[in-house]
């Protein structure tokens, strides 16, 4: 979760002589709203994210001579194996998806990263950076109107109304797909040979 692996990869590429002049490297991170901070930003995950940001600064110093850059991209909340394991985050994402889909601003993984590349990294212009030097593609999530609606829904959620007040169905579907379940075109009732491939 921290920047050590990123640094090691960049060191290995440089030592192998395969880093092109002007190479760009980017690490994905997340900040999110204050409701998630006690468990996320203020916890061990947050410390790891700060290490990623510190690593970006070191990498920028190392890449400067060849015209390269290292960025941290602050991304939108999405259903991932990591985010699904963090308390409160799945509930937050379920509420967020409902609000953003209603406002037609929701982006999945592909759309979000396309916007990162097409509008920030490879469009011939300088990326839009915040005061800490990070690219912010969480802007649609952190829009004040979106966050106000999520904040209003948060205290209303109960076990009984979860499916009505949030987009739990989409969250659940995306979560299952991470592990190969709920995919179109797969016959989950078909007989499977557990010894397949063994001699």
Catalytic site residues? 40
Q: How far apart are alpha carbons 21 and 153 in whole angstroms?
A: 49
Structure tokens at 154: 């948060």
- Do 135 and 116 form a contact (C-beta atoms < 8 A)? yes
Q: How far apart are alpha carbons 175 and 27 in whole angstroms?
A: 23
Q: Is 167 helix (H, G, I), strand (E, B) or coil?
A: coil
Q: How far apart are alpha carbons 153 and 6 in whole angstroms?
A: 38
Residues in the chain: 199
């Amino acid at each position: 979760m921290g920047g050590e692996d990123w640094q090691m990869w960049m060191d290995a590429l440089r030592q192998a002589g395969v880093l092109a002049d002007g190479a760009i490297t980017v690490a994905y991170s997340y900040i999110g709203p204050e409701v998630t901070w006690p468990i996320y930003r203020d916890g061990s995950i947050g410390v790891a994210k700060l290490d990623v940001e510190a690593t970006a600064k070191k990498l920028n110093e190392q890449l400067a001579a060849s015209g390269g850059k290292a960025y941290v991209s602050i991304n939108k909340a999405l259903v991932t194996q990591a985010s699904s394991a963090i308390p409160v985050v799945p509930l937050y994402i379920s509420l967020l998806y409902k609000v953003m889909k209603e406002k037609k601003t929701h982006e999945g993984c592909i759309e979000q990263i396309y916007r990162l590349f097409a509008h920030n990294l490879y469009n011939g212009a300088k990326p839009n950076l915040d005061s800490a030097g990070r690219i912010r593609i969480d802007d649609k999530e952190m829009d004040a109107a979106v966050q106000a609606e999520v904040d209003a829904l948060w205290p209303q959620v109960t076990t009984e109304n979860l499916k009505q007040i949030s987009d739990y169905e989409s969250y659940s579907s995306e979560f299952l797909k991470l592990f190969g379940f709920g995919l179109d075109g797969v016959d989950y009732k078909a007989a499977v040979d557990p010894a397949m491939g063994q001699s």
